Amino acid sequence: MQCFKAVKWGFFVVLSGWLTGCGGGSGGSDAVASEGNNTSECEYTECSQVETGIGTVSYAVYQPSSLDENAPLLIILPGATATYRSVESTYQAREFADQYGYILLLAQSPQLAWPFNQAGTTAVIEVLDLIQGSYPVNQQVFMAGISNGSILSNLVACDYADRVTGIFSASGQMFHWEDDGAYGFCQPNDSVGIAYVHGTADNDIFYHGGGNYGGTRYSSPAVWDAFDFWRAHNQCSDEFVSVHLPELELGRTADTEIAQNCNIPMQFTTSNRGVHVPDWQPDILHNLMHTFFVASAAAKFG
């Protein structure tokens, strides 16, 4: 039984991601911007574009045909050089939305890499405002990503914690162009559920800190450092409960560390020998995501 302040759950879960030069998803150059408003070629409910402070953001929305009114919204951001189609394929996100009743928003930066600053986070909120005014979504807003998209998910949670219920972030952590070395740029005004997933064999964003961008090594904090920042913000104790996952990725085991006595769910999953772009087993992944999202919403909204 997982215990949080004021509420108790029986659950465990995962996910995460980041970096400015890493793709996130299968493929990665299918030119989403060319779709624009041409819905005749759109695989989703809507494919369109919106002008933001960082330029033209291309996005797609998927609304399951049998969806109830006031559904939760899941925003998924791709890694750099990847597209919203590729990250949707990695997550098998439409299948997730169909099974669990979410509206899905896929958004792609005009530069094929989200900027790690307030202009980037504000652009995501501009798209969110548009979708919340056009689709039957409720106050539950979740974010997920791979690599670059996961970094920005963390930053959106920093800047707009009152708008984000939880993030499920893969192959990344938290980073900012104005990093002061102590996460001073991140000053959330509310609790946010945080689930990280990271592979020990990630050769782009190293598990123990630093990474490789285009053949050039760079320095950065370890992924656990960012998780510990969020753990302190969400007022967790120093205790953890460990859960072993036999096969989150095909042929690879994983271990989830669940922070205890938090005011909202917090967990870190290590994918043993996992690489930068995960090869998840969808049924296991989707159950983990939904369980985490439900627990985060219960903690945030009661």
Is 150 a residue whose pLDDT tops 80? Answer: yes
CATH classification of the domain holding 63: 3.40.50.1820
Question: In the prediction, which pLDDT does 60 show?
Answer: 98
pLDDT digits 0-9 by tens, 10-56? 232 322 222 333 454 433 333 333 344 444 589 999 999 999 999 99
Among 97-106, 252-261, 270-279, which is the least confidently predicted range?
270-279
Mean pLDDT of the chain: 85
Is 1 a residue whose pLDDT tops 60? Answer: no
Q: What percent of the chain has pLDDT over 90?
A: 69
pLDDT digits 0-9 by tens, 156-168? 999 999 999 999 9
Domain with 42, as residue range(s), is 2-301
Question: In the prediction, which pLDDT does 25 show?
Answer: 45
User: Mean pLDDT throughout 69-84?
Assistant: 94
Question: In the prediction, which pLDDT does 247 show?
Answer: 87
Is 99 a residue whose pLDDT tops 90? Answer: yes
pLDDT digits 0-9 by tens, 106-129? 999 998 899 989 999 999 999 999
**Number of structural domains in the chain:** 1
In three-state form (DSSP H/G/I as H, E/B as E, the rest C), the secondary structure along the chain is CEEECCEEECCCCCCCCCCCCCCCCCCCCCCHHHCCCCHHHCCCCEEEEEEECCEEEEEEEECCCCCCCCEEEEEEECCCCCCHHHHHHHHCHHHHHHHHCCEEEEEECCCCCCCCCHHHHHHHHHHHHHHHCCCCEEEEEEEEEECHHHHHHHHHHHHCCCCCCEEEEECCCCCCCCCCCCCCCCCCCCCCEEEEEEECCCCCECCCCCEEECCEEECCCCHHHHHHHHHHHCCCCCCEEEEEEEEEECCEEEEEEEECCCCCCEEEEEECCCCCCCCECHHHHHHHHHHHHHHHHHHHHC
Q: What percent of the chain has pLDDT over 70?
A: 85
